[in-house]
A = this chain, B = another copy of it.
Amino acid sequence: MSRWQPDARGRMLDAALELFAEQGYDRTTAGDIATRAGVTERTFFRHFADKREVLFAGPVLLDEVVVETVGAVDPEAAPWPVAIAAVREAAARLGAARTPAQAAQRARIVAQTPALQERELLKMASMTSAIAAALVGRGVAEPLANLAAHSAVAVFSAAFARWASGEEDRPFEQCVDEAASALRELT
């Protein structure tokens, strides 16, 4: 693969997922990923601090997406539709950047390695805090902002499991709508 091919970052993301699945996360080095993606190690480290960050840095910056989305929603909207709009947009962006099979592969790799699980929990906690802070910025009081943010991320997680299972051929954001309905019926 030529190093002049476009989207080196995307190729590194794909290569990392392939290699982690083929030979295990622990046995894969940054150099392996660079080689498979047809880039130099230097290019790898320009994009990612280490191999772990390949799984967490891309392809979508969830915190930014949710904060932008909350800021763009009609100021009169109630907290829950705003929180759901935030995770729905995060799902739409992630669904555009990844196939369900790729997302499922990443989830399997994360589930196999405790250090990656912790990093994943931090990522979800960070998205939760970002949504809660953005809601507070809209004048929603605590602990309602936190409750809405936590519950919206619960919806996101359930939607992710459904979408990544690949059992039904529906966009991730539609799975979010369905999970939000399921929660409403549940409670």
Which residues from B are CB-within-8-Å of A154? 147, 150-151, 153-154
Contact of A179 among B143, B157, B162, B182 (CB under 8 A): B143
For chain A, which range describes its interface: under 10, 10 to 19, 20 to 34, or 35 or more residues? 20 to 34
Given contacts A80-B187, A142-B161, A184-B187, contact A179 B147 (CB under 8 A): yes
Say how far A121's CB is from chain B's closest CB, in angstroms: 4
Across the interface, do A157 and B161 meet the contact criterion of CB distance under 8 Å? no
| Residue numbers in B under 8 Å from A162 (CB-CB) | 143
Residue A122, interface by CB 8 Å: yes
- A69 interface contact, C-beta 8 A: no
List, in ascending order, chain B residues with CB within 8 A of A79's CB: 186
Q: Do B80 and A186 touch (CB < 8 A)?
A: yes
B residues within 8 A CB of A78?
186
Q: How many chain copies does the complex carry?
A: 2
Known contacts A121-B125, A187-B180; A150/B158 CB under 8 A: yes
Q: Chain A: interface secondary structure? A: helix
Proximity bits, A133-167, B CB within 8 Å = 1, else 0: 00000000011101110110111011101100000
> Which residues in B have their C-beta under 8 angstroms from that of A142?
161
Report whether B143 and A147 are in contact in the complex, using a CB–CB cutoff of 8 Å.
no
Chain B residue nearest to A119 in the complex (CB): B118
Interface of A toward B, CB cutoff 8 Å: 78-80, 117-118, 121-122, 125, 142-144, 146-148, 150-151, 153-155, 157-159, 161-162, 179-180, 182-184, 186-187
